[in-house]
Amino acid sequence: MSYTSYPSSFQCPKIVPYAWSVDMGILRTPMEGGNARQRRRYRTMPHMFKLEFILSALSLGQWQSWINAFAYDWFLMDLESMWSAATGNIISPHLVRFTTDLEFDDVTYGWVRCRVGAELSPNQYALGGPLLPTYAWVIGGTPMAPSLDGVVIAGDPTDPSSPDWIYSGTPQFPAAIIF
């Protein structure tokens, strides 16, 4: 799927007060004795960003028109988070959409500040880049002698024994994602 990209000619979000929060989705149940029980509500942790832009008053019309047309649906914007760190870069493309009203105030004559909230798409992993560790072991074996009955059966590109794809990762990220 192709996504609209935030134009490179537009202002990037300011570094300060750039911030984000991660909803860990933890449900805790206290117990009468012993540790509280806890579980996760979801696997993909929602990321919420607080963005601020400083724009010239003359560029505000073009910027806000683009925002009104594209930013309330998923679009690509270079941001900083765990996803950019996983690529080994400070920033990388993030699939986001704006989730709050645009709040404006004047910085000085001819310049305005805009604050807006954004959320990261749960499909961020699908953009490619490095695989995030699952901390699961995959033991392959061979087509004639699979390591575990029906779990992972090896094959080759011309005759795969399973329609599933296994990405083994890299030395830096040795775990695999299996889908």
* Same domain as 113, residue 45: yes
* Same domain as 106, residue 20: yes
Most confident of 23-37, 60-74, 160-174: 60-74
* Same domain as 103, residue 30: yes
Residue type, 55: L
* Same domain as 107, residue 152: no
pLDDT (tens digit, 9 = 90+) per residue, 56-78?
999 999 999 999 999 999 999 99
Distance of CA 114 to the CA centre of its chain: 23
What domain range is 146 assigned to?
131-179
CA distance between the termini of the chain: 18
For residue 156, what pLDDT band results from cuts at 50, 70 and 90? low
* Same domain as 152, residue 170: yes
Please state the pTM of the whole predicted model.
0.64
| Contacts of 101-108 spanning 24+ positions with Cβ under 8 A | 102/64, 102/67, 107/54
* Same domain as 22, residue 106: yes
Decide which of 86, 103, 124 is a domain's last residue. Answer: 124
Contacts of 157 (CB under 8 A, 6+ apart): none
| Averaged pLDDT for residues 24-35 | 87
> How far, CA to CA in Å, does 162 sit from each of 134, 138, 141, 145, 178?
20, 14, 13, 14, 12
- The three-point CA angle 19-24-29 to 5° equals 140
* Same domain as 140, residue 91: no
Residues listed for the chain: 179
3-state secondary structure of 66: helix
Helices (H) and strands (E) counted in the chain, each on its own, are: 2, 11
One-letter-per-residue 3-state SS of 141-162: ECCCCECECCCECCCECCECCC
Structural domain count of the chain: 2
pLDDT (tens digit, 9 = 90+) per residue, 137-153?
555 555 566 555 545 44
Position 137 scores a pLDDT of 55
* Same domain as 110, residue 33: yes
* Same domain as 96, residue 20: yes
Distance of CA 47 to the CA centre of its chain: 8
* Same domain as 49, residue 27: yes
Decide which of 104, 124, 144 is a domain's last residue. Answer: 124
* Same domain as 93, residue 49: yes
For residue 97, what pLDDT band results from cuts at 50, 70 and 90? very high
* Same domain as 141, residue 118: no
**45: CATH:** 2.40.30
Higher pLDDT, 61 or 129: 61
For residue 109, what pLDDT band results from cuts at 50, 70 and 90? very high
3-state secondary structure of 62: helix
Decide which of 124, 142, 163 is a domain's last residue. Answer: 124
- From the list 172, 166, 134, the residue with the least C-alpha distance to 43 is 134
